[in-house]
Amino acid sequence: MVTVNLADKNVVVVGMGLTGLSCVQFLLAQGANVSAMDSRSELSLSLDIPLYLGALDESRLSHADLIIVSPGVSLQTPALQYAIAAGVSVIGDIELFARFNTLPVIAITGSNGKSTVTQLVVEMCKAAGMRVLMGGNIGVPALDLLNISADIVVLELSSFQLETTQSLHALAATVLNICDDHLDRHGSLENYQNIKHRIYKQATYVVASRDDLATQPKGRAIDISFGLSTSQSGFSWDKVSASLHYEGKHWLSSTECLLVGAHNMLNIQAAAALAMLAGVHIHGIKQGARLFPGLAHRCQTISLHKQVRWINDSKATNVGATLAAIEGLADTCTGRLVLIAGGQGKGADFSPLSLLLNEKIDLLITLGKDGDKIAALKANSSQVSSLEDAVKLAAGYVQPNDTVLLSPACASLDMFHNYQHRGECFIQAVQQLAVQECSA
């Protein structure tokens, strides 16, 4: 923890979303002179501080003692670059949290799976009787967790949050995986990877994938590794017995777990490794792994109507997430596999999908802004204009034992409010199928 005195400091909070509002309340409690900015021209907020809307004011920013920038605001914004050049420190809420936090922290990032692993770790801690707090990029803003009595804090951290973080001392930290994501913001895969690796700086223990070199820290050892490859150290997967191994010995059978798919076996391994290193009792770790059912919009089975499994994986907003979903399900599907994909691609390269689309997917249905780019990877794919049309097309194709997977590989903002809205629309469309059949 860094000793910080914010009393009477002139602090500007940029971005008035949930995180920004949390920052304002925290800073006011510290006695800072707080003002806020938001690029939106209209904002309905009741704040007892100066609020400046529209284009960011370079002059005000450059005369601040400190700027707290929300994750959704790029550091490359000209007004922020102007302030940085003037010598003003620009940080995010996680950095501010790190400067005041006194509890042990488990820190989790990665392109995919970080919410599932974060919640898994929390469930493991709870099963072990620990008082645990969860926040960051999931649930509660990190600053809202300060001064709450607990044994440990589990944080999910995005690249946007890590970009402005320098002082976080995690007890155990991991980068789960790395794939093309947010390149429109970070510019290159290398820069994105370097930002993710900030989570390892000053961490006591490191957990990383044995099979993904991009997750492994440079210049320091991995304390516990995980992967689908065979290994006598760390966590591994035994395909023959469908079980998780630790240090080369049987640890937990996948049949005991509610989570399914190879990608979720990786998630369990990573969560267990983090929990072990943080001192969570082994019985709690196994109990949490067994009983956690998964998160909404993440490979979530929403219907088994007429023996067809419909899976909502709307949270798959990049190529890596969709690859993981297909790979995780393909070997367990007894029938055909239908994929619904497409949306706003964020500048991603869709070509890594090509092999699996042609080897594992029986019918590809695409929609959205960049749906045509995905459709071009597989012959005889179908393009539709709405999610409802995609569901209807899939329903007319499937038969018992088939699986329909919504795993877009894209962001949702071209057609929906967010990925949750997209998932809810998918659920409603699937539910409507049964209603229509009953009324026919």
Please spell the DSSP secondary structure of 341-382, one letter per residue.
Answer: E-SB-TT---GGGHHHHHHT-SEEEE-STTHHHHHTTSTT-E
Residue 2 lies in a domain: no
Residue-level pLDDT at 439: 61
Residue-level pLDDT at 259: 83
Residue-level pLDDT at 329: 85
Tell me, yes or no, whether 39 and 102 share the same domain: no
Question: What percent of the chain stands above pLDDT 70?
Answer: 96
Residue-level pLDDT at 186: 64
| 270 pLDDT above the threshold of 80 | yes
Tell me, yes or no, whether 212 and 343 share the same domain: no
pLDDT in tens, 74-83: 999 999 999 9
Tell me, yes or no, whether 193 and 232 share the same domain: yes
Amino acid, res. 14: V
Q: Which of 137, 264, 312, 318 is catalytic?
A: 137
What stretches of 151-225 show up as alpha helix (H) in DSSP? 159-162, 183-186, 189-196
Residue 5 lies in a domain: no
Q: Which of 101, 112, 177, 182 is catalytic?
A: 182
| Better-predicted residue by pLDDT, 127 or 111 | 127
Whether 281 sits among the annotated catalytic residues: the reply is no
| 262 pLDDT above the threshold of 60 | yes
Distance CA 283, CA 31 (A): 45
User: CA torsion, points 98, 103, 109, 115, in degrees to nearest 10?
Assistant: -120
| Better-predicted residue by pLDDT, 44 or 347 | 347
| 230 pLDDT above the threshold of 80 | yes
CATH assignment of the domain containing 402 = 3.90.190.20
Tell me, yes or no, whether 109 and 233 share the same domain: yes
CATH assignment of the domain containing 264 = 3.40.1190.10
Calculate the average pLDDT of the chain: 93
Residue-level pLDDT at 433: 87
Distance CA 392, CA 335 (A): 19
Residue-level pLDDT at 165: 97
| Better-predicted residue by pLDDT, 354 or 260 | 354
pLDDT in tens, 33-60: 999 999 998 888 888 899 999 999 999 9
3-state secondary structure of 8: coil
Q: What is the mean pLDDT of the segment spanning 401-422? A: 96
Distance CA 207, CA 353 (A): 27
Tell me, yes or no, whether 418 and 315 share the same domain: yes
49 phi/psi in degrees, rounded to 5? -140, 160
Residue-level pLDDT at 90: 97
| 436 pLDDT above the threshold of 80 | no
Tell me, yes or no, whether 85 and 133 share the same domain: no
Q: Which of 114, 245, 315, 373 is catalytic?
A: 114
Tell me, yes or no, whether 54 and 111 share the same domain: no
| 2 pLDDT above the threshold of 60 | no
Contact (CB, 8 A) for 368 and 390: no
Residue-level pLDDT at 1: 54
Angle at CA of residue 193, ends 187 and 197, nearest 5°: 135
Residue-level pLDDT at 112: 87
Residue-level pLDDT at 440: 56
Contact (CB, 8 A) for 89 and 301: no
Q: How confident is the model at residue 328 (pLDDT cuts 50, 70, 90)?
A: confident
Residue-level pLDDT at 271: 98
Residue-level pLDDT at 300: 83
Burial class, 277, CB count within 10 angstroms (exposed 0-12 / middle 13-18 / buried 19+): buried
Domain C-terminal end among 91, 113, 138:
91
Report the helix count and the strand count for the chain, using DSSP H and E: 15, 20
Residue-level pLDDT at 434: 77
Least confident piece of the model among 14-23, 128-137, 195-204, 305-314: 305-314
Tell me, yes or no, whether 105 and 64 share the same domain: no
3-state secondary structure of 287: helix
Tell me, yes or no, whether 268 and 313 share the same domain: no
| 333 pLDDT above the threshold of 80 | no
Contact (CB, 8 A) for 99 and 249: no
Distance CA 120, CA 134 (A): 11
Q: What is the mean pLDDT of the segment spanning 308-326? A: 92
Q: What is the mean pLDDT of the segment spanning 328-344? A: 89
Give the pair of three-digit tokens for residue 264. 């979720």
| 437 pLDDT above the threshold of 80 | no
Tell me, yes or no, whether 226 and 264 share the same domain: yes
Residue-level pLDDT at 332: 66
pLDDT in tens, 353-409: 999 999 999 999 999 999 999 999 999 999 999 999 999 999 999 999 999 999 999
Task: Identify which of 401, 397, 384, 382 has the alpha carbon closest to the alpha carbon of residue 433.
Answer: 397
Q: What is the mean pLDDT of the segment spanning 291-311? A: 86
Q: How confident is the model at residue 279 (pLDDT cuts 50, 70, 90)?
A: very high
Q: Where is 34: in which H helix or E strand?
A: strand 33-38
Tell me, yes or no, whether 215 and 237 share the same domain: yes
pLDDT in tens, 179-222: 866 666 666 888 899 999 999 999 999 999 999 999 999 999 99
Range of the domain at 243: 96-291
pTM: 0.78
Whether 182 sits among the annotated catalytic residues: the reply is yes
Distance CA 67, CA 392 (A): 50
| 115 pLDDT above the threshold of 60 | yes
Question: What percent of the chain stands above pLDDT 90?
Answer: 80
Domain C-terminal end among 259, 291, 323:
291
Residue 183 lies in a domain: yes
Bridge partners, residue 290, by sequence: none
What's the number of domains the chain is made of?
Answer: 3
Tell me, yes or no, whether 69 and 101 share the same domain: no
